[in-house]
Amino acid sequence: MSSGTLRLGRREFDAYEPVVMAIVNRTPDSFYDQGATFRDRPALDRVEQAVSEGAAIIDIGGVKAGPGDEVTATEEARRTVGFVAEVRRRHPDVVISVDTWRHEVGEAVCEAGADVLNDAWGGVDPRLAEVAARYGAGLVCTHAGGAEPRTRPHRIAYDDVLADILRVTLGLAERAVELGVRRDGIMIDPGHDFGKNTRHSLEATRRLGEMTETGWPVLVSLSNKDFVGETLDKPVKERVIGTLATTAVSAWLGARVYRVHEVAETKQVLDMVASIAGHRPPAVARRGLA
């Protein structure tokens, strides 16, 4: 199986077209922005900025990944459904993704116009893939090491972390196809930090080529994560350079979709790597020609 066109919403992305997915958190307690886009106005401004900077996908989340106050499915839907509908109204062609593990939330956001369900907790609710199939939505199949949603890993170990990542994500992807999810709308995600310590996430990055060689489009969610912070001993707000370095390596190894906070910076990194690889011409070419 070779990696070909990725079809999400109204958009098609060819095999050598890197895709930026911008994070918009509708949470009051996000690890990165501490609730900066919890309210509608700043969240909509964030969408406008991300689209103008080159994001093709907007990924909307109503529950932070880490531990914290309980967020019911009803509250998660309240935070996301109306916002999805408004983004859909303002941006008919942008791909809208929703980061959720709950099938009832997935159903509600698909009704409101979402194009992709980003299942960051590795199929913990098997009905979510059924929702994606029913609505013709794309699906992200993630390795989370069997962790329960919103828990942190504790003394987790793997005989071979990449082998486990492949076993889980390929299994989820094939199950999704069997349920009726479009094959060209499915992405697999190694799940950096999810059910992993820092060494696991570094190894997953180093061996990312083993994922891209499967032919499934690979999504990476690297942005300002703990494995970057621990590797460089940097707090959350000082992880951009480490994130971009990891992004460049992932791009060279063939990742297709990048879930990020810093859209403009990521876009430059991806364009540069694509040009080095020979998939994108320079934006201008004057040097040595006059």
CA atoms of 209 and 6, how far apart (whole Å) = 18
- Give the DSSP per-residue string, the chain: -----EEETTEEE-TT--EEEEEEE--TT-TTTTTTTSSHHHHHHHHHHHHHTT-SEEEEESS-SSS-S---HHHHHHHHHHHHHHHHHH-TTSEEEEE---HHHHHHHHHHT--EEEETTSSSSTHHHHHHHHHT-EEEEE--TTPPTT----S---S-HHHHHHHHHHHHHHHHHHHT--GGGEEEE--TTTT--HHHHHHHHHTHHHHHTTSSPBEEE-TT-HHHHHHHT--GGG-HHHHHHHHHHHHHTT--EEEES-HHHHHHHHHHHHHHHTSS--S---TTT-
Instruction: Just list the catalytic residues.
Output: 225, 259
